[in-house]
Each structure stands twice: as C-alpha cells, then as structure tokens.
Amino acid sequence: MLVLADRSFTAHPLFSAFAAAGADLLCRAKSIAVLPVLERFSDGSFRSEIVSTPDKRARTDVTGVRVIEHTIDDPGRSSVKERYRLVTTIIDSEAAPAAEQVGLYAERWEFDKLLNEVKTHERGSRVVLRSKSAEGARQEAYPFPCVHYAIRALMFRTADHDDVDPGRISFTRSRRAASRSGLAGVGTAA
C-alpha cells in the first residue's frame, strides 16, 4: 500500500505509525524540514531520516526515508519555478524511481483539485444537506458527482475539439458557462 499525504504529516507521529504498520508513504516535506543527506542515489534522490516526536533532540521515533527534490517547471501553472521535496519510505531508488514518485504525487494534487471543485466551486460553501436520514442524505448528495462529471465531460470535449490539454481549462469558468447556458432557456415560451 502506498499512502500519499500532504506536507503536514511528515513530522507527525502518524507518519511513523503508517510506516510501522507496513504501508509505504509518499509525502511532501515542509520547506523548513531538516533532512540530512546520508547517501545519494543515481536518480538524484537521497537517503535521510525524519524524527516524528515533538522533542527532535531526543531522537526517538526516527524513520529512515528517501528524499526526492523536484522543481515544477510548468509555464501553464506559474511563471515562478516552485521547488519542493517529497519524502518516501521506499528507500530503493531502483524499485521506485524519483520521476515515477513525482508523477504519483502530481496525481494526488489532481485529486485534491477535484475535491476542491466539488466541495467549494460546485456545491458552494453554504449548501448544507437538509435530510434527516442516511437515504435522504445520499439522495441529496448524489447529484453533485453527476453534475461534476457532466461539467468535466464538457471540458474534455471542448479541449479535444480545440486540441488543448483538458488540465488547462478552468473548472470554475466551465461551471459558470454551463450554468449560464442552462439558464438561457429558462422562462422563455416555446
């Protein structure tokens, strides 16, 4: 099992608990994290260790990790090149090359973006499910993924038609355009 997590978990006892349970982890490290270089690997990553206790000087609960440094160089996202570090419990750089791990973490970002689209932009922050039963709550919640899928399908068709990467099309703008398009026919006589 590979657990992908945000940067809040590398200096947390939960990181060590997952590792002790046998799960492999891939987490973004905080920029202030001290990660000593203990051994360099051919893919540019290095072996290090993290201490998951509040008292770092005590050096209890030390977990061996591999650190992968990467720069986001995507002109479509930002003009600033952002550098970040990933921490993984998979020490073997042959079994899990750095480029592969970076790609997996990028997929995690895509999933976070999807959750944000549904939670914030589609549903809205003030919409509360009103149902008093589990079945009613399911019935109220079901349209959200359906509408999300419909908007994403529209985005994909538009991107395919214009030969553009679908990731470059704004979900928020697409949702607004779909909403305006759907409202255009409301109230008109046939």
Give the whole-angstrom CA distance, residue 14 versus residue 40: 27
Q: 174: closest CA among 113, 121, 126, 125? A: 121
The pLDDT assigned to 67 comes to 94
Q: What is the pLDDT of residues 47-69, one digit of tens each?
A: 998 876 666 677 777 888 999 99
Question: For tokens 């993924």, what's the residue?
Answer: 145
Domains of the chain, residue spans: 2-95, 128-184
Q: What is the pLDDT of residues 153-174, one digit of tens each?
A: 888 888 888 888 877 788 878 8
pLDDT of 188 above 50: no
Give Dmax (Cα) for the chain: 77
Q: What is the pLDDT of residue 182?
A: 66
φ, ψ at 72 (rounded to 5°): -80, 115
Q: Name the token pair of 144.
A: 């959200």
Residue that wins the pLDDT comparison between 33 and 119:
33
Find all residues with CB under 8 Å of 24, minimum gap 6, and list them.
Answer: 1, 2, 3, 88, 89, 90
Q: What pLDDT score does 189 carry?
A: 45
At position 90, the amino acid (one-letter code) is I
| Its pTM surpasses 0.85 | no
pLDDT score of 41 = 94
Q: 């939960």: which residue's tokens? A: 14
Residues with Cβ < 8 Å from 9, sequence gap 6 or more? 15, 25, 27
